[in-house]
Structure 1
């Protein structure tokens, strides 16, 4: 039994020595195996130039005939999103922007039913309808400007603006949807909120070509006798 144990121990020592020698030979032939590699070994001529580093694609936008297509890389949210923009709300009529309200009426956007898909976008549709209504009423005031004069025309446009806000908030309040924040106010605070939110308070022309008129949205109930002289 003693000779067998001694033979076993000698065999184990020989195998260990052979394994160690094999590992040293492998490391000499392949020095990068089974050990940490430094940047100096990976890039002996220095780190690659920044121009070789690929950055994620930037977002970009493209306008189509109905809405605004917003594209982004897949990592930023998947497929393109179609956003039907509406220039809302309109600014308060003043003596400074009254001429632009009348002169640029056909150079500001209008929103026919075909602008939106058949379903969805309820909030945007209500905003668009309100803008169409106000622009139609402004047109009525501007037509009367030929005989009314500036003061009466401004009174008409102001009443049209206030009425469009009132009708918009009443409609929005009757629907179980998120209420436009200005509609949560009242009186002068509500009107000031809409004025402050207006993206084009000076009623500048934003369309290159004249916009075809939309069908009438109803007669504006303007009473000149309500205006202070």
Structure 2
């Protein structure tokens, strides 16, 4: 329970800061959706895989700042995973952070009545399994 609250507080602090990135930039969603953190990939995540997701923060602002995009998700998941790698219990923290951010995306996209990712049409474990199965880099072993 303490780990869940710690991750939630960490994510809330990022959300309050209002970090935003463009909603649609050609070539950037190639790492979306990020894979579910597991015992098999947490080593790669903590060796820099999470940081390679959060480099999207460097993108310039655009007119689509109010849209919670795949780039927003990559930045938030990357930042959260980086923070989780500094925790004693890396995997539980990373799993919870991943779930919170992807569910936040579905909620925000649904609230503005925009076209949602197909996995957002599912709920609970089915939603998470859908995102995980669609990840192009399940091991966080991308080169860029």
Q: Give SS of 2:55's match.
A: coil
Greater fraction of residues in strand: 1
Residues of 1 paired with 2:58 and 2:85: CA distance?
A: 25
Larger Rg: 1
1:109/1:206 contact within 8 Å kept: no
2:106 aligned with 1:169 = yes
Residues of 1 paired with 2:112 and 2:64: CA distance?
A: 14
The equivalent of 2:91 in structure 1 is 154
2:44 aligned with 1:130 = no
- How many matched pairs? 118
Q: Give SS of 1:158's match.
A: helix
Give me the TM-score of the superposition, normalised by structure 2.
0.72
Offset of residue 120 of structure 1: 5.1
Which segments of 5 or more consecutive residues in structure 2 lack a partner in the other structure? 1-24
The higher relative CO (CA closer than 8 Å, separation ≥ 6) is in 2
Distance 1:109 1:100, change over 3 A: same
2:45 aligned with 1:101 = yes
The equivalent of 1:68 in structure 2 is none
CA RMSD after TM alignment:
2.2
Q: Give SS of 2:28's match.
A: coil
Distance 1:178 1:107, change over 3 A: closer
The C-alpha deviation readout for 1:61-83, integer Å capped at 9, x for no partner, is: xxxxxxxxxxxxxxxxxxxxx82
Residues of 2 paired with 1:140 and 1:189: CA distance?
A: 26
Residues of 2 paired with 1:175 and 1:138: CA distance?
A: 27
Which segments of 5 or more consecutive residues in structure 1 lack a partner in the other structure? 1-81, 208-229
Give me the TM-score of the superposition, normalised by structure 1.
0.47
Q: Give SS of 2:74's match.
A: helix
Greater fraction of residues in helix: 2
2:54/2:78 contact within 8 Å kept: no
Offset of residue 108 of structure 1: 4.4
The one of 122, 129, 143 aligned to 1:192: 129
Offset of residue 179 of structure 1: 1.5
